[in-house]
Chains A and B, each alone.
Chain A
Amino acid sequence: MDFNDTPEEAQFRAEARAFLEANCKPKGAEVERMVRALKPAEYLKAAKAYQKKKAEAGFAGITWAKEHGGRGLAPIFNVIFGQEEAKFDAPSAAFAIGLGMCLPTVIAFSSEEIKQRYVAKALSGEEIWCQLFSEPGAGSDVAASKTKAVRDGDDWIVNGQKVWTTGAHFSDYGIVLARTNPDVEKHKGLTMFIVDMKAPGVEVRQIHQASGGRDFNEVYFTDVRIKDSHRVGEPGQGWMVALVTLMNERLAVGGSTGPDYPDILNLARTLPGPSGKGTLLQDQAFRQMLADWVVRAEGYKLGKFRTMTALSKGQTPGPESSIGKVINANQLQSITNTAIEMQDHYGIIADDTLSPMDGAFQQGYLWAPGLRIAGGTDEILKNIIAERVLGLPQEQRADKGVAFKDLPTGR
Chain B
Amino acid sequence: MNFDFSDDQKSLKDQARKFLADKASSKVTRRVLDDASVSFDEALWRGVAEMGWLGAAIPEEHGGLGLGKLELCVLAEEIGRAVAPIPFSSTVYFFAEALMLAGSDAQKAALLPKVAGGELIGCFAVSEGPGAPTPSSIQAKFENGALSGAKIPVTDGDCASHAVVLAKDGAGLSLVLVDLNQAGVTRTTLKTLDPTRGHAKLEFNNAKAERLGAAGQGWELAEAVLDRAAVLIAFEQLGGSQACLDMAIEYAKERVAFSRPIGSFQAIKHKLADMYVAIEVARSNAYYGAWALSTDAAELPFAAATARAAASDAYHLAAKENIQVHGGMGFTWDVDAHLFYRRAKLLSVQAGSPAVWKEKLVKRLEQRNAA
Instruction: Please indicate the chain B residues that have their CB under 8 angstroms from the CB of A288 in the complex.
Output: 355, 358-359
Q: In the complex, A298→B305 CA distance in Å?
A: 12
Of B3, B70, B249, B273, which contacts A391 at CB under 8 A? B249
- Smallest CB separation, A357 vs chain B (Å): 16
Q: In the complex, A326→B70 CA distance in Å?
A: 30
Q: Cβ of A327 and Cβ of B269 under 8 Å apart?
A: no
Q: Cβ of B5 and Cβ of A1 under 8 Å apart?
A: yes
Q: Cβ of A390 and Cβ of B272 under 8 Å apart?
A: yes
Instruction: Please indicate the chain A residues that have their CB under 8 angstroms from the CB of B70 in the complex.
Output: 1
Question: In the complex, what residue of chain B is closest to A79 when comparing beta carbons?
Answer: B1
Q: Cβ of B358 and Cβ of A303 under 8 Å apart?
A: no
Q: Cβ of A312 and Cβ of B277 under 8 Å apart?
A: no
Question: In the complex, what residue of chain A is closest to B359 when comparing beta carbons?
Answer: A287
Q: Cβ of A290 and Cβ of B362 under 8 Å apart?
A: yes
Is there a chain A Cβ closer than 8 Å to B170's Cβ?
Answer: no
Q: How many Cβ-Cβ contacts under 8 Å join chain A to chain B?
A: 152
Q: Cβ of B287 and Cβ of A291 under 8 Å apart?
A: no
Known: A303-B280, A309-B3, A389-B276. A383 touches B313 (CB 8 A): no
> Which of B260, B277, B355, B365 has the most C-beta atoms of chain A within 10 angstroms of its own C-beta?
B277
Q: Mark A286-326, 1 if CB is under 8 A from B, else 0.
A: 01101110111011111101101110100000001001001
CB-contacts of B300-329 with A (<8 A): 305-306, 309-310, 313
> Which of B270, B272, B362 has the most C-beta atoms of chain A within 10 angstroms of its own C-beta?
B362
Question: In the complex, what residue of chain A is closest to B258 when comparing beta carbons?
Answer: A396
Q: Is the interface of A mostly helix, strand, loop or mixed?
A: helix
Is there a chain B Cβ closer than 8 Å to A7's Cβ?
Answer: no
Q: Cβ of B288 and Cβ of A302 under 8 Å apart?
A: yes
Q: Is the interface of B mostly helix, strand, loop or mixed?
A: helix
Instruction: Please indicate the chain A residues that have their CB under 8 angstroms from the CB of B358 in the complex.
Output: 287-288, 291-292
- Smallest CB separation, A304 vs chain B (Å): 9
Q: Cβ of A396 and Cβ of B1 under 8 Å apart?
A: no
Is there a chain A Cβ closer than 8 Å to B284's Cβ?
Answer: yes
Q: Cβ of A379 and Cβ of B272 under 8 Å apart?
A: no
Of B1, B281, B282, B362, which contacts A4 at CB under 8 A? B1
Q: Cβ of B284 and Cβ of A299 under 8 Å apart?
A: yes
* Contact-residue size bin, chain A (C-beta under 8 Å from the other chain): 35 or more
Q: Cβ of B361 and Cβ of A294 under 8 Å apart?
A: yes
Q: Mark B267-295, 1 if CB is under 8 A from A, else 0.
A: 01110111011001110110110110011
Known: A287-B362, A294-B365, A393-B263. A3 touches B274 (CB 8 A): no
Known: A302-B3, A302-B288, A396-B260. A385 touches B306 (CB 8 A): no
Q: In the complex, A288→B355 CA distance in Å?
A: 7
Instruction: Please indicate the chain B residues that have their CB under 8 angstroms from the CB of A294 in the complex.
Output: 306, 361-362, 365
Q: Cβ of B365 and Cβ of A302 under 8 Å apart?
A: no
Q: Cβ of A323 and Cβ of B280 under 8 Å apart?
A: yes
Q: Cβ of A299 and Cβ of B252 under 8 Å apart?
A: no
Instruction: Please indicate the chain B residues that have their CB under 8 angstroms from the CB of A393 in the complex.
Output: 253, 260-261, 263-264
Q: Cβ of B355 and Cβ of A387 under 8 Å apart?
A: no
- Smallest CB separation, A372 vs chain B (Å): 14
Q: In the complex, A62→B172 CA distance in Å?
A: 61
Q: Cβ of B285 and Cβ of A299 under 8 Å apart?
A: yes
Instruction: Please indicate the chain B residues that have their CB under 8 angstroms from the CB of A265 in the complex.
Output: 365, 369
Is there a chain B Cβ closer than 8 Å to A386's Cβ?
Answer: yes
Q: In the complex, A3→B192 CA distance in Å?
A: 42
Q: Cβ of B359 and Cβ of A291 under 8 Å apart?
A: yes
Is there a chain B Cβ closer than 8 Å to A141's Cβ?
Answer: no
Instruction: Please indicate the chain B residues that have their CB under 8 angstroms from the CB of A3 in the complex.
Output: 1-3, 291
Is there a chain A Cβ closer than 8 Å to B220's Cβ?
Answer: no
- Smallest CB separation, A380 vs chain B (Å): 10
Question: In the complex, what residue of chain B is closest to A386 when comparing beta carbons?
Answer: B269
Q: Cβ of B1 and Cβ of A395 under 8 Å apart?
A: no
Give 15 A-B pairs besides A303-B280, A383-B273, A396-B264 with Cβ atoms closer than 8 angstroms: A76-B1, A291-B361, A294-B361, A301-B284, A305-B3, A306-B3, A308-B1, A310-B4, A323-B280, A382-B269, A386-B263, A386-B272, A386-B273, A392-B264, A395-B269
- Cβ contacts A to B, 11 pairs, < 8 Å: A2-B2, A2-B291, A291-B309, A299-B282, A299-B310, A306-B3, A312-B2, A383-B270, A386-B273, A391-B249, A394-B264
* The 8 A-B residue pairs with the shortest CB-CB distance in the complex, in nearest-first order: A299-B281, A291-B358, A386-B269, A302-B284, A382-B273, A392-B263, A305-B3, A385-B273
